[in-house]
Structure 1
């Protein structure tokens, strides 16, 4: 059996509006926003009494999504927002952009900061990691040539 596709990547935040603004500036589109709760949600997450607000953001090509969640209950169990890039667990998602400098300027208005520096990889990509609202870590890649 093989995977058909990756549907979405989940990010837990305290401020859904700030995360929507950040990912909208990056070029994702808000697909929908809704409260989620009930037996089915508790069953799939294993969290009794789970209540969460979600916003689904779609990439311009329509193939990938970011699910932004704010847990109302139970309380958030851990905070990994300041974890360094070598921390265990899910870390970041990488986006390909047309112009990394323009993207950084626009996301900077939403508090994004480059983690290290923008680097060039073998005349093929310009790359960097950035931290956005609440320490959300994403990667940016700009294709500059073919290998």
Structure 2
């Protein structure tokens, strides 16, 4: 039935900061669109929706993988810092494999991205959480 991930959509309030973050993670902006209208409102189940919709593609990913950034112009959306609490129901984090976790983490911290802790070895991997804009948690994993 399921084959592989296609995309993840993330609602953001600061579109440019979120775009910059994912570009640091090796995503490339492919499509910028403004979505609105009855058909989209019905599909998203958001009344009178108007939103910027950016499609970012992970470079050299096979199969293709996208992050879609959704920035609502209507309705107004606010960031919620409680999303940093990973001990709650629902979406927790997204993890990406890297070749060299320390080198990747150094690059990201030099560019203003904060690690949420120290690198941990667990189940044949080195792992670390990073925090992006909008309180997005991303995990990096280097297979040992």
Give the TM-score normalised by structure 2: 0.87
Q: Could you tell me which runs of 5 or more consecutive residues in structure 2 were left unpaired when the two chains were aligned.
A: none
Higher deviation after alignment, 103-112 or 40-49: 103-112
- Does the aligned pair in 2 maintain the 1:111–1:132 contact within 8 Å? no
How far apart in 2 are the matches of 1:51 and 1:81?
Answer: 26
| Aligned 1:90-105 pairs, distance under 5 A | 90-105=91-106
In the TM superposition, structure 1's runs of 4+ consecutive aligned residues that sit over 3 Å from their partners are none
The verdict on how the C-alpha distance between 1:104 and 1:78 changes in structure 2, with shifts beyond 3 A counting, is: closer
Q: For 1:105 and 1:36, how far apart are their aligned partners in 2?
A: 37
The alignment of Structure 1 onto Structure 2 pairs a total of residues equal to 142
The 5-angstrom pairing of residues 74-89 of structure 1 reads 74-76=75-77, 79=80, 82-89=83-90
Report which stretch shifted further, 106-115 or 88-97: 106-115
In structure 2, distance between residues paired with 1:110 and 1:82: 23
